[in-house]
Structure 1
Amino acid sequence: MSLNIQELFNVKGRVAVVTGGSSGIGLMISRGLVSNGAKVYLVALPSDPINETVSELNDLGRESGGSAQGYPCDVSSKEAIAELSREISKKETALDMLISNAGIRRDPPLACNVLTASLEELQSSMWSIQTKDFDDTFRINTTAHYFLSVAFLPLLAAAAERPTSTGVKGRDEGRGVMVVTSSCASMHNSTNVDMTSYASSKAATDHLVKLLAAKYNRFYVRVVGINPGFVPSNMNPIGAKGNIFSSLFEKVPAKRAGNSEDIAGTVLYLVSKAGAYVDGVSVCVDGGRILLANGQE
């Protein structure tokens, strides 16, 4: 047994699938994995800059031995997810980690400040969101995690069961794990913006983590979640003029937005030997914002 940090958090040579990996939190995770020697199958929409991102990641992995390959896939489609798993299965007999990260946010097109709007303004704003916006949000933010987990279950179970060079099974080193990206928005209702469809889908995702972990526990395929707070992404352009959350940054106890180190460090813990005994829970990575949202100022 070693408590050396390079062994506890070691992901060198491990295989990962990262959805939504070409930007924002997914790219932070992909960079963290490749920088530490992992092989990443980066999954993103066909319209995303997959080739450019893969090239950047392979440059990043030259020293560590990490690498990346890109796959276009619309995870809102069950059939596309099935095809993705078939393609990965042609190349891999086991999958050490599935990072199910892709997500969207659809706010009402008629925006208002929820905290100050009149009854009429609030009603008009909330009514302006389309049914399709709710459907699309749940399809990608919740349902896709479910089908991805099912499609890749055999590969994840194989990684958990496979003997390692140290004489233990993969699961004892943290292999065979699914990490689901949720949001701290699932944990509170304190905001000046109506994110009802987004926050509801993320709350459903938090429970889905528990449901999937319970279903897969016999194979010790772990399912865990992360709930990021203010972290730069296309969804949350921190520093951009007119950012709807800009007035809240200084209220976070950490007095800053989250960054790549915060996200990558959390994921490296969960997918490595260090986190091998963690299952069925979600980790909030928000600089303490949830405390304020729950009135613990």
Structure 2
Amino acid sequence: MSGKPDLIALNAASMYDLTGLVAVVTGGASGIGLMISSVLLANHATVYIVDLDEKLVKGIAERYSDLAQESGSRGKMVGLQGDCSSRDAAEKIAAALAQHEDYVTVLFNNAGIMGGAAEPPKQLSGDAFKKSYSSLTDEDFHNLGPYFLSSAFLPLLVVSKSKAPYGDKFEPQIINTVSMNGWTKDPATGGHNYPYLLSKGATGHMTSLLAHDFLKIGVRVNAISPGWFVTGMSAPGTVNEYGISSKQGTMESDDFGFKTPAGGSGQAKDVGSAALALVVNRFINGESILVDGGTLLVHPSKY
């Protein structure tokens, strides 16, 4: 079937045998979350994907679990319906996980929403800029769900050090999806979507804060900052039943107002291999890995 992912091709070297590792990926039924989830699955992890759409998340999990069996992966994927936007919802997701697993190795705070965009003003005047910026409303700016999810999953993460069958092979960790837009100074790289840009900047700073604070309980906190990756959000109508866009890897970012020097767009192996590096390397803590194809080398940033 065209667009069916090859899990064997996504499987890294044997040093990335993630047998026994339990990962939770919010927003894992589509986009970058699914890219990360598929690579973890290919490397024998048990992956729980969380999404608002129950039909979508269950269907994706079933298809990828079938692929895992076909390819010889010892991993599995399980779909959970859940809302990642509030404290109470985060607690419900953690409670649901606890019904299935005694521990969690890695929480990927990946889910997010875009909010509204402030179109660049055509005139360089105070009035024009005010009209552009004030087009956004209070509803466009949303809560920082990753904070509450990180809190909710701490007990399951900490207990992995005593209950996981792999011993000290993998340390518990939270990995946040920040985006290159958490570090950019050019709003064009984020479609002038200020709620999105600001939320990603906040998540990047939260990564450092929690990494420092959670040293006390032995939980690492890192982040991945992807650049141009084609998903159903950026290319509506191009995604197949496996959640893969037909334009993944080939669609250029130029039409969206910014440059990606590497050309084309990122693919599952690009962001997935970054996730694997963070999972297996205990010497990385409080960092954000930029996976942007060189975009922030040509656009001003604070990275």
- Secondary structure of the 1:43 match is strand
Q: Residue 210 of structure 1 corresponds to which residue in structure 2? A: 208
Aligned to 1:29: 36
Runs of 4+, deviation exceeding 4 Å: 161-165
Match of 1:65 among 52, 63, 74: 74
Instruction: Confirm or deny: 8 A CA contact 1:230 1:258 kept in the other structure.
Output: yes
Give the alignment's TM-score, normalised by structure 2.
Answer: 0.82
Q: TM-score, normalised by structure 1?
A: 0.84
The residue identity in structure 2 corresponding to 1:225 is A
Give the aligned residue type for 1:104: I
- Say how many residue pairs are matched: 274
Q: CA RMSD in A?
A: 2.5
1:205-247 C-alpha deviation (Å, 9 max, x unpaired): 111001111111122211000110001123333859xx99543
Q: C-alpha distance in 2, partners of 1:181/1:96?
A: 17
Matched, 1:188 2:189: no
Amino acid at match of 1:40: V
SS at match of 1:91: coil
Question: 1:19–1:61: structure 2 CA closer, same or farther, 3 Å change rule?
Answer: same
**Which of 228, 234, 246 pairs up with 2:226?**
228
Partner of 1:155: 156
Q: CA deviation at 1:194?
A: 1.9
CA distance in 2, matches of 1:244, 1:104: 22
Deviates more, 1:212-221 or 1:261-270: 212-221
Residue matched to 2:145: 144
Change in CA separation of 1:185 and 1:81 when aligned onto 2, cut-off 3 Å: same
For the Cα contact (< 8 Å) 1:254–1:288, is it kept in 2?
yes
Q: How many angstroms apart in 1 are the aligned matches of 2:47 and 2:82?
A: 15
What's the CA shift string for 1:9-44, capped at 9, x where partnerless? 221231111100010001101111111111111110
CA deviations 1:112-148 (Å, max 9, x no partner) are 345x5443443322211111111x2xx1xxx211111
- Which residue does 1:268 correspond to in 2? 276
Mapped contact 1:15–1:96 kept (Cα < 8 A)? yes
For residues 247 and 92 of structure 1, what CA distance do their matches in structure 2 show? 45
Q: 1:86 to 1:196 in 2, by over 3 A?
A: same
The one-letter amino acid paired with 1:289 is T
Give the secondary-structure state (helix, strand or coil) at the position aligned to 2:285.
Answer: coil
1:51 shift after superposition: 1.6
**Matched residue, 2:25:** 18
Residue 199 of structure 2 aligns with an amino acid whose one-letter code is S
Q: What CA distance in whole angstroms lies between the structure 1 residues aligned with 2:50 and 2:164?
A: 28
Moved more, 117-126 or 257-266: 117-126
Structure 1 residue aligned with 2:290? 284
CA distance in 1 between counterparts of 2:231 and 2:76 reads 23
Report the alpha carbon displacement of residue 81 of structure 1 after superposing the two structures with TM: 1.1
The 1:249/1:67 distance shift into structure 2, 3 A limit, reads farther
Distance 2:289 2:30 in 1: 21
Aligned AA (1:263): V
| CA distance, structure 1, for counterparts of residue 172 and residue 52 of structure 2 | 25
Aligned to 2:6: none
Gaps of 5+ in 2: 1-11, 236-244
Q: What fraction of aligned residue pairs are identical, expressed as a percent?
A: 32
